Amino acid sequence: MLKINNISLVNFKNFSNLELEFSSKINCFIGNNGTGKTNILDSIHYLSFCKSLLNLKDSQNIKNGESFFIIEGNFTRFDEPEHIYCGFNKEQKKSFRRNGVEYKKLSEHIGLLPVVFTTPNDSDLIYLGSEIRRKFIDVVISQFDKNYLNSIIKYNKILEQRNSLLKNPQPLSYENFEAWDFQLARVGEEIFQKRTQFIKEISEIFQKYYSLIGEEREKVTLKYISNCNEKDFTESLKTGFEKDKILGYTSFGVHRDDFEFSLDGYPLKKYASQGQQKSYIISLKFAQFEYIKNKTGLAPILLLDDIFDKLDKTRVKKITGMVSKEDFGQIFITDTSRTRMPDILKELDIEQKTILLGE
């Protein structure tokens, strides 16, 4: 089992000093927009991923007028206590500690405390470019596969070096690139194979949740689109070398992959209603939850930020009832309505804690 027992925030976003104790099942934060509901969820994300989901620069998470922030949380993981500390000062590098011991590399922490975070901004997965979809898939796989995370880090470093060479004003022959291309191809193939396997394995779970949440009969599809699917990686880098020199960047590889969202064979972006799109993304996040749980033996902490907006009460009750079952672990929910979640949780008769913000 995985749960966060309490958290302490100092100068984090809108909070000067905040200490909270949590229920081991459902925690509901209720308040108007701007009271800091999402910031509390983001602080839990910080302790899992060593960074904010919402503000990528650490300095942007310091309360206005201050020079540092601190986040501390006490977790229980497989019945063992875990104390996680994150501190950032504008004048120093970020400090991240597990049980008092500083990490040498932040990547060593990823996957220890799995978290699934769903927000209103998840619609970006549908409307924005391929980079955000690749990042989403990479984050999911990295939470249970440390080798995959290391491959992504290594691939990006090699790619950066290759692109830097391509921009070199001095004329270079392909011999200058062979060693880099050999490494890029080897690591890229590993990433391609693991992405392919992931999409294959998660598809059935994804369909299950879409049918449960939406009571819909449409078939959901998450398709992996890669130029590595039918072409040899090393050969493609070589044949594209002259083109890449003109472009100044590497035009072939897993860094150009995409993932296509569709419903009954039609692109989600163009043909699905807003309700269908929301059900699709929420179902995908729940599939992410179950997949990680199956791989790690830990039910991730589930952070549900304002997901009930624009959903009817019946569907809200259905989702709440679903996550309240034993299959799910600790849940954090934000809502602006003072009555919606308390009324539903009272009907379900489940262990919960409601925290009012902005009082």
Q: Please, which residues bridge with residue 352 across strands?
A: 26
Q: What sign has the CA pseudo-torsion 216, 217, 218, 222?
A: positive
Q: What is the pLDDT of residues 112-170, one digit of tens each?
A: 999 999 998 899 999 999 999 999 999 999 999 999 999 999 999 999 999 999 988 77
Q: Where are the alpha helices (DSSP H) in the chain?
A: 37-49, 124-127, 130-142, 146-166, 178-214, 233-239, 241-247, 268-271, 274-296, 313-323, 340-348
Q: What is the pLDDT of residue 230?
A: 81
Q: What is the pLDDT of residue 223?
A: 94
| CATH topology (fold) of 128-297 | Glutathione S-transferase Yfyf (Class Pi); Chain A, domain 2 (1.20.1050)
- Per the CATH hierarchy, to which homologous superfamily does domain 1-114+298-359 belong? P-loop containing nucleotide triphosphate hydrolases (3.40.50.300)
Q: What is the pLDDT of residue 156?
A: 97
> For residues 331 and 106, what is the distance between their CA atoms, to the nearest angstrom?
25
Q: What is the pLDDT of residue 322?
A: 80
The residues of the chain scoring below 50 in pLDDT are none
Q: What is the pLDDT of residue 314?
A: 72
Q: What is the pLDDT of residue 359?
A: 62
Q: What is the pLDDT of residue 17?
A: 95
Q: What is the pLDDT of residue 215?
A: 65
Report the 10 Å Cβ neighbour count for 82.
Answer: 18
Please report, as a single letter, which amino acid is at residue 144: F
Q: What is the pLDDT of residues 59-95, one digit of tens each?
A: 999 999 999 999 999 999 999 999 999 999 988 889 9
Q: In whole angstroms, what separates CA 307 from the centre of its chain?
A: 16
CATH topology identical between 1-114+298-359 and 128-297: no
Residue with token string 């709440």: 320
**Cα Rg of the chain, angstroms:** 22
> For residues 252 and 27, what is the distance between their CA atoms, to the nearest angstrom?
45
Q: Where along the chain do its domains lie?
A: 1-114+298-359, 128-297
Q: What is the pLDDT of residue 217?
A: 80
